[in-house]
């Protein structure tokens, strides 16, 4: 499919039942309902695991099930032959940036901690990662990550941007071919934070050329996964970019972070002039709304927050849906984590920016509970029911 000549968010929007919906997302929703789905394997919306996606599943969706894209749900609505989900995938790979490397998770600036990563982490008693959860679910069939296998399964690289997605995807495909199954089970992807953090200002962040480039680079990585028999049928777990705004809020009162550390962190669109100049009434706790008395730094941060929510995460979800609908990546799914708020303990005390071990635990729990495996996990409780 040709790359659109303008960013996905530029097709306009309308409001339905009080919710702002992009025209493109609505068109994808309609096409999902009308097109046949015989080639798809994974049922996004079979929340009750009864083999179909029906009205009962709609009730669960509208009752507040978090992390599930309405567009992806619509793509499978009406299916009546959903296959049983395996207890665990064959294995799991990580594609990502410094978060995927667990940078500074223990507070040591610049130090990588793959053992603590939310997805493929393996350290004992550190993070209850997806890797550990899969191993517990199917100890005989799941080829788990550990210290010896980590160079195979974790292909994340600190500083990576979406332009690096295709290269990491190629490495995953090659590494997967060398595993006992010769295929990837899950490919967990969390990229994009460095792309948004590198923008000079909110206007540059939502510039049409920047959005189109991000779109093209994302497609290049997905194309690489779709082209390899080792990865095309894997569960492609694409995470949205988290609400980075809350990293600032978590450490904004820490003098060391604010004065000595943050001037050197490459996300100045968020961290420059880090004092709180938001308006009265705890406006800083409402990043989705610009208040009349918000200062210019507060407005900049809130516009940064909105650009991730409305533009970049929309690209991640909508483009991935295209690949699912046309069968290039039939088991792809998108996990929305934008509502997660990082607290002070979930941001490390070294660079005051990357998730701490507690932060990776938060990510692991939310990513798990918003995935297909988590829907059936009693440890997730009724949070997404």
Q: What's the pLDDT score for residue 84?
A: 77
- The lowest-confidence range among 21-25, 49-53, 187-191, 232-236 is 21-25
Contact predicate 212/3, CB 8 Å:
yes
CB-neighbour burial class of residue 293 (10 A; exposed 0-12, middle 13-18, buried 19+): exposed
Of 196, 160, 190, 191, the C-alpha closest to 300 is 196
Distance CA 252, CA 352 (A): 9
Contact predicate 92/149, CB 8 Å:
no
Query: What confidence tens digit (pLDDT) does each residue in 101-111 have?
Result: 999 999 999 99
Q: What's the Cα-to-Cα distance from 81 to each of 35, 53, 225, 281, 316, rounded to whole Å?
A: 16, 9, 26, 51, 28
Distance CA 267, CA 271 (A): 6
CB-neighbour burial class of residue 87 (10 A; exposed 0-12, middle 13-18, buried 19+): middle
Q: What's the pLDDT score for residue 66?
A: 60
255 Cβ contact list (under 8 Å, min separation 6):
none
Q: Where are the domains of the chain?
A: 13-76, 92-246+296-380
| 335 phi, psi to nearest 5 deg | -115, 115
Query: What confidence tens digit (pLDDT) does each residue in 294-338 have?
Result: 999 999 999 999 999 999 999 999 999 999 999 999 999 999 999
Q: Which residues sit opposite 96 in a β-bridge?
A: 190
Q: What's the pLDDT score for residue 231?
A: 98
Q: What's the pLDDT score for residue 57?
A: 77
Q: In the predicted model, what is the mean pLDDT of residues 162-176? A: 98
Q: In the predicted model, what is the mean pLDDT of residues 280-295? A: 97
Query: What confidence tens digit (pLDDT) does each residue in 354-380 have?
Result: 999 999 999 999 999 999 888 778 878
In the numeric block, the tokens 């199954």 are attached to 181
Q: What's the pLDDT score for residue 313?
A: 98
Q: How many CA atoms lie within 13 A of 244 on its CB side?
A: 30
Q: What's the pLDDT score for residue 28?
A: 43
- Please state the three-class secondary structure of the chain as a single string: CCCCCCCHHHHCEEEECCEEEEHHHHHHHHHHHHCCCCCCCCCCCCCCCCCCCCHHHHHHHHCCCCCECHHHHHHHCCCCCCCCCCCCCCCEEEEECCCCCCCCCCCCCCCCCHHHCCCCCCCCCCCCCHHHHHHHHCCCCCCCCCCCCHHHHECCCCCCCHHHHHHHHHHHHHHHCCCCCCCCCEEEEECCHHHHHCCCCHHHHCCHHHHHHHHHHHHHHHHHHHHCCCCCCCEEEEECCCCCHHHHHHHCCCHHHHHHHHHHCCCHHHHCCCCCCCCCCCHHHCCCCCCCCCCHHHHHHHHHHHHHHHHHHHHHHHHHHHHHHCCCCCCEEEECCCCCCCCHHHECCCCCCCECHHHHHHHHHHHHHCCHHHHCCHHHCCCCC
Q: Domain 92-246+296-380 carries which CATH code?
A: 3.40.50.1110
Q: What's the pLDDT score for residue 380?
A: 83
Query: What confidence tens digit (pLDDT) does each residue in 349-359 have?
Result: 999 999 999 99
Average pLDDT value over all residues in the chain: 88
Distance CA 95, CA 156 (A): 5
Token couple for 357? 């071990």
For the chain, the distance separating the N- and C-terminal CA atoms, rounded to the nearest angstrom, is 36
pTM of the model: 0.86
Q: In the predicted model, what is the mean pLDDT of residues 26-54? A: 56
């Amino acid at each position: 499919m040709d790359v659109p000549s303008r960013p996905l968010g530029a097709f306009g929007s309308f409001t339905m039942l009080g919710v702002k919906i992009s025209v493109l997302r609505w068109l994808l929703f309609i096409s999902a309902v009308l097109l046949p789905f015989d080639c798809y394997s994974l049922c996004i919306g079979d929340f009750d695991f009864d083999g179909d996606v029906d009205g009962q599943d709609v009730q669960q969706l509208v009752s507040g099930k978090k992390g599930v894209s309405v567009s992806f749900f619509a793509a499978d609505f009406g299916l009546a032959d959903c296959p049983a989900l395996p207890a665990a995938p064959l294995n799991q790979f990580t594609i990502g940036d410094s978060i995927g490397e667990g940078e500074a998770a223990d507070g040591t600036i610049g130090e990588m901690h793959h053992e603590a990563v939310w997805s493929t982490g393996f350290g004992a008693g550190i993070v209850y990662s997806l890797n550990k959860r899969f191993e517990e679910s199917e100890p005989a069939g799941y080829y788990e990550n550990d210290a010896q296998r980590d160079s195979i399964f974790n292909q994340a690289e600190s500083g990576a941007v979406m332009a690096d997605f295709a290269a990491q995807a190629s490495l995953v495909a090659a590494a997967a071919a060398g595993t006992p199954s010769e295929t990837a089970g899950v490919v967990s992807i969390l990229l994009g934070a460095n792309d948004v953090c590198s923008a000079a200002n909110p206007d540059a962040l939502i510039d049409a050329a920047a959005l189109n480039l991000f779109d093209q680079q994302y497609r290049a990585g997905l194309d690489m996964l779709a082209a390899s028999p080792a990865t095309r049928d894997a569960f492609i777990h694409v995470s949205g970019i988290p609400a980075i705004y809350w990293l600032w809020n978590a450490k904004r009162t820490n003098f060391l972070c604010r004065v000595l550390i943050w001037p050197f962190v490459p996300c100045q669109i968020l961290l420059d002039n880090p004092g709180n100049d938001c308006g009265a009434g705890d406006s800083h706790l409402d990043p989705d709304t610009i208040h009349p008395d918000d200062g210019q730094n507060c407005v900049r941060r809130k516009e940064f927050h909105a650009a991730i929510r409305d533009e970049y995460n929309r690209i991640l979800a909508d483009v991935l849906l295209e690949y699912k609908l046309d069968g290039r990546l039939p088991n792809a799914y998108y996990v929305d984590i934008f509502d997660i708020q990082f607290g002070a303990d979930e941001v490390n005390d070294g660079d005051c920016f990357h998730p701490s071990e507690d932060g990776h635990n938060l990510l692991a729990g939310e990513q798990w509970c918003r995935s297909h495996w988590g829907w059936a996990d009693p440890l997730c409780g009724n949070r997404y029911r």
